[in-house]
């Protein structure tokens, strides 16, 4: 169903009027994790001020260590909803359990399925059974074919509002957190009719590479870019080293807008 052979026109995923896949770049910013109302609202204000619409923030955090901050859970989703309503933004947040999907649709505008859950088939089926856009991230060690099959799981349940997200894969290279597979973007665009985003934060894990990676993503045909922004990354409860502060966010946006590919 996700194959280009089945449908030649591009799928456009409409997120509260933001039409991802329409040929314009769509940018998603926000903190790694929802930590407080004030923290999210501060980023929302900066996002809004730039004329952007899409805000991200994790409420359920799939952390490598069980002793790390696990997220605020439902409380985090409530914060996101309040901020989305107050700032007229659309929010994207990761859901990790099939049991939370039905509740989540009342609070968020896009269900994110994270890299670690790309082959959690029960979660994929649950997300495929609701009428809500899904942002599906590529698994840490997933081939492009496996990634496309994961999207197929969602669509086979009836939900065709899927955005694919390349977020880097695990390789032998340690200079970056993951290896951004930039060629996956045109391959996914050729093989499927779905929009494709690139997460420059989790793929590179390096603030100095966010801008060049974002430029490369748009130049190669991505439908948008995701990056993490936190009001005070030094005290962030997760991914402290790689989130942009608000000043870096300003600079990032100015530079990105100045490139020929981004308007």
On whether the CB atoms of residues 95 and 101 are closer than 8 A, the answer is yes
Q: Rounded CA gap, 149 and 135, in Å?
A: 14
Question: What are the angstrom distances between the C-alpha of 256 and each of 42, 149, 234, 260?
Answer: 22, 32, 24, 9
77 binds ligand PEP (CB under 6 A): no
Quote the CA–CA distance of 58 and 253 in Å, as a whole number: 22
Candidates 53, 137, 189, 207; binder of ligand PEP (CB under 6 A) is 137
For ligand PEP, which residue of 59, 80, 83, 115 counts as binding (CB under 6 A)?
115
Question: Which of 15, 27, 28, 32 is in the footprint of ligand PEP by CB under 6 A?
Answer: 32
Tokens at residue 14, please?
Answer: 């409409």
Which of 6, 15, 18, 38 has the alpha carbon at shortest distance from 235? Answer: 38
Among the listed ranges 80-88, 95-103, 111-119, 213-221, the one in contact with ligand PEP (CB under 6 A) is 111-119
Binding region for ligand PEP (CB under 6 A) out of 34-42, 45-53, 112-120, 247-255: 112-120
| H-state helical runs in 50-106 | 74-87, 101-104
H/E stretch holding 58 reads: none
Nearer to ligand PEP, 1 or 67 (CB): 67
CA distance 182 to 203: 10
Angle between helices 144-156 and 121-128 (to 10 degrees): 40
First and final C-alpha spacing in the chain: 31
Distance of CA 36 to the CA centre of its chain: 20
Q: Which does 167 bind (CB under 5 to 8 A by kind): ligand PEP, Mn ion, none?
A: ligand PEP
Site for ligand PEP contains 114 (CB under 6 A) = yes
| 211 interacts with, out of ligand PEP, Mn ion, none, CB within 5 to 8 A per kind | none
Q: Which residues contact Mn ion by CB under 5 A?
A: 32, 239
Among 154, 36, 20, 33, smallest CA distance to 90 is for 20
Q: Does 167 bind ligand PEP (CB under 6 A)?
A: yes
Question: Looking at beta carbons only, is 142 or 211 nearer to ligand PEP?
Answer: 142
Nearest distance, CB of residue 58 and ligand PEP, angstroms: 4
Residue 100 or 239 having the CB closest to Mn ion: 239
- Check binding of 177 to ligand PEP (CB under 6 A): no
* Partner that binds at residue 115, options ligand PEP, Mn ion, none, CB closer than 5 to 8 Å by kind: ligand PEP
* Binding flag, residue 15, ligand PEP (CB under 6 A): no
> Residues in the site for ligand PEP, rule: CB under 6 A?
32, 58, 62, 94, 114-116, 137, 167, 199, 202
């Amino acid at each position: 169903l996700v194959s280009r052979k089945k449908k030649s026109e591009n799928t456009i995923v409409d997120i509260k009027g933001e039409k991802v896949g329409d040929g314009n770049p769509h940018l998603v910013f926000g903190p790694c994790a929802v930590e407080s109302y004030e923290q999210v609202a501060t980023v929302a204000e900066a996002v809004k001020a730039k004329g952007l619409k899409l805000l991200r923030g994790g409420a359920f955090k799939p952390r490598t260590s069980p002793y790390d901050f696990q997220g605020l859970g439902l409380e985090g989703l409530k914060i996101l909803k309040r901020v989305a309503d107050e700032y007229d933004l659309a929010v994207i947040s990761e859901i990790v359990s099939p049991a939370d999907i039905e509740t989540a649709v009342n609070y968020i505008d896009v269900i994110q399925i994270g890299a670690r859950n790309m082959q959690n088939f029960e979660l994929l089926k649950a997300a495929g059974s609701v009428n809500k856009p899904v942002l599906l991230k590529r698994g840490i060690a997933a081939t492009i074919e496996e990634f496309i099959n994961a999207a197929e799981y969602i669509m086979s349940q009836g939900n065709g509002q899927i955005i694919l997200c390349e977020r880097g894969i695990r390789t032998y290279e340690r200079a970056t957190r993951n290896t951004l597979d930039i060629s996956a973007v045109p391959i996914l665009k050729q093989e499927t009719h779905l929009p494709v985003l690139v997460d420059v934060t989790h793929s590179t894990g390096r603030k100095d590479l966010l801008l060049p990676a974002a430029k490369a993503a748009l130049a190669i045909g991505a439908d948008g870019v995701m990056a993490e922004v936190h009001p005070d990354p030094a005290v962030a409860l997760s991914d402290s080293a790689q989130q942009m502060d608000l000043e870096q966010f300003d600079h990032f946006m100015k530079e990105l807008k100045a490139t020929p590919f981004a308007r």
